[in-house]
Amino acid sequence: MASKTVEDVLFPGIDVRVEGVSDFSDVLVVEVASTACPGRCPNCRRQARRVHSTYQRTLDERPLGSRRVVVRLRVRRYFCDRGSCSRMTFVEQVPGLSARYRRSSTGLVGWLRSIAMELGGRPAARLCRRLQLTAGRTRLLRLLTAPAVPDCAPRVLGVDEFAFRKGCTYGTVLVDVEAGWVVDVLPDRTSETFAAWLKEHPGAEIICRDRATAYTKAVREAAPDAVEVADRWHLLQNLSAAVEKTCHQHRDCLRKRAEEETVTEVPEVPPMLSPPAELPRTQIIERTRHRYEDIHRLLEKRWTISAIARRLNLDRKTVRRRDTDLDQLLVSARERRPNGVLEPFKAYLNTRFTEAQGQVSGTRLFLEIQARGYRGSRQVVRKHLAALRAGTTQPVRADIPSPRKITSWIMRPREALTESQNERLLQVRLVCPDITRACDLARAFADLVRHQRGYLLLEWIRQAEQDAPKPMKGFAGFLRQDLDAVTAGLTLPWSSGVVEGHVNRVKTLKRAMYGRASFGLLRTRILTQPSMPLQWASGRKEG
């Protein structure tokens, strides 16, 4: 086997000759000379023939182990013999080692650019100090330059929004769905900005999007011949919201049936003497009540939803939900913090409290339910007794599944449910015909999505509009308004899965540099980072 020279180890494939190596305590100085062919004039590109002089450049090189490496490179200055060229002399550059105006080698610059690309400014500078690299955050950020955006849009373009600050400012990410890489990043999510981009970059034949109306308007204005594809995951998400709203509306009939069965099966547990007259004045209930009043006061003044959201610093979806009954919102707010650990023992505590007419020790009751398996704290028991004395507690409710749990049973495939979940869902279906109808429609639509049977969509919409509960009718009308895009989403293989994967990557980058950088730097890091593998980017579940 041929022995390797110093040049092969330190400068593989580079046309230089090592003339000496000086070993200091913490620095390794390597003196080299260029052996490359005569260079070409950077202006007229004519190859040089005469050497003007030589001089020495000092370059920082990648560290060797834990030791810093400095290269002293001797290069030649050449004459440019073309009379019409304005340049008299020029200095040669060694490919793979030196570049104009650089005091670092090409390899070291590549290292620093990769570190800045992954970490940004200050974190990258801290890592460089650990690696014995001399580079501040300003220098690292100067190495990042956004690549040029192609003149033509990709054939299959994916578009989605991401939040700079949730509920306040948003941007737009554009992705080549076929290749799986980001094409461009826009500073907002308005239809005007996206339409202007589409006009400057024609060529998109298929555009995958969510249900945002701004993107729909831009596509119809700037690319009317493109096929719009509604994302399947968002369709299932909208369907799930409609099913959950149906379950919320019919929760009372579920509770009434369960309470009737409880009274029949367990007659020895007496009810409370007097149900509470009003909900407890907790912080979340008061906040819900005040928000409801503020929103409806502005609605009476004919304010728009967007204006109300900006005025009250709320999300537009929160404002839209205020068309629900106040009592239902308050009950939902009350149920957001269920006292789950005490729930199985509340019937016993209420019975003991009623028998003793309120003259009972909280410590004694705590010891009694602890002997029966209670594993919570004593303070929880004391708070419940205080609520009983104040008359602000709720009566013990029957054990009925929550609307969200019922929705999860409906939206999941039948084979994914356990035997007990199937049984409980069957009990819910027997109690409430509206939930049964919503369940049948939801499963039929999920089957259309999973098997891409878009040709049956119109028939499903007709059935839902005839005899479905009100939330399901609203979902069907929502689909009819965007019928072509939804049909394409249930027919074509394209979706926004790749786009959502990149949105998650954008969130990671944004949070790492939130409040410390501009949109330009964020855009540069998004575009310069290598795209994730396609199977990772499209790893979001689509039903």
Same domain as 500, residue 482:
no
Residue 535 has pLDDT above 50, yes or no: no
Q: Treating both helix axes as pointing N-terminal to C-terminal, what angle do 283-300 and 305-312 enclose, rounded to 10 degrees?
A: 140
pTM (two decimals): 0.65
Same domain as 125, residue 94:
no
- Rounded Cα distance between 195 and 222, Å, is 5
Q: pLDDT tens digits for 132-189?
A: 888 888 888 888 888 888 889 999 999 999 888 877 889 999 999 998 889 999 999 9
- pLDDT value of residue 353: 78
CATH code at 178?
Answer: 3.30.420.10
Same domain as 407, residue 316:
no
For residue 260, being part of any structural domain is answered with no
- pLDDT value of residue 533: 45
Same domain as 115, residue 96:
no
- The residue out of 357, 390, 423 marking a domain boundary is 390
> What range defines the domain where residue 130 resides?
110-142
Same domain as 165, residue 88:
no
Q: Which of 255-259, 315-319, 342-346, 473-477 has the lowest mean pLDDT?
A: 255-259
Residue 100 has pLDDT above 90, yes or no: no
Beta-sheet pairing, 181-186 with 227-230: unpaired
- pLDDT value of residue 543: 36
For residue 477, being part of any structural domain is answered with yes
The answer to whether 457 and 487 have CB atoms below 8 angstroms apart is yes
Q: pLDDT tens digits for 352-375?
A: 877 777 677 878 888 888 888 887
Long-range contacts (CB closer than 8 Å, 24 or more residues apart) made by 300-309:
309/167
- pLDDT value of residue 475: 93
For residue 296, being part of any structural domain is answered with yes
* Residue 24: both structure tokens together: 């200091």
Q: pLDDT tens digits for 41-63?
A: 888 888 888 889 988 999 988 88
- The residue out of 452, 471, 489 marking a domain boundary is 489
Triad 46, 50, 52: Cα angle to 5°: 110
Please compute Rg for the chain using Cα positions. 34
In the chain, what are the helix, strand and coil shares in percent, each to the nearest 5? 50, 15, 35
* Residue 11: both structure tokens together: 């400068």
Residue 270 has pLDDT above 70, yes or no: no
Residue 261 has pLDDT above 90, yes or no: no
- Rounded Cα distance between 222 and 203, Å, is 11
- The residue out of 356, 390, 424 marking a domain boundary is 390
Same domain as 431, residue 359:
no
Same domain as 345, residue 295:
yes
Residue 407: burial class (beta carbons within 10 Å; 0-12, 13-18, 19+) = buried
Q: pLDDT tens digits for 212-225?
A: 788 989 999 999 99
What's the number of domains the chain is made of? 5
- pLDDT value of residue 368: 85
CA dihedral of residues 280, 281, 286, 292 (deg, nearest 10) = 50
Band of the pLDDT at 280, cuts 50, 70, 90? Answer: low
Q: Got the DSSP string for 150-188?
A: PSS--SEEEEEEEEEETTTEEEEEEEETTTTEEEEEES-
The answer to whether 234 and 260 have CB atoms below 8 angstroms apart is no
For residue 37, being part of any structural domain is answered with yes
For residue 525, being part of any structural domain is answered with yes
The answer to whether 172 and 223 have CB atoms below 8 angstroms apart is no
Beginning with the edge strand found earlier in the chain, give each strand of the sheet holding 181-186 in spatial order: 181-186, 169-176, 156-165, 206-209, 227-230
The answer to whether 69 and 110 have CB atoms below 8 angstroms apart is no
The answer to whether 507 and 220 have CB atoms below 8 angstroms apart is no
Same domain as 167, residue 114:
no
Same domain as 117, residue 83:
no
* Residue 295: both structure tokens together: 């929103």
- pLDDT value of residue 332: 59
Same domain as 282, residue 309:
yes
For residue 385, being part of any structural domain is answered with yes
- pLDDT value of residue 395: 52
Same domain as 437, residue 365:
no
For residue 246, being part of any structural domain is answered with no
For residue 259, being part of any structural domain is answered with no
Same domain as 405, residue 322:
no
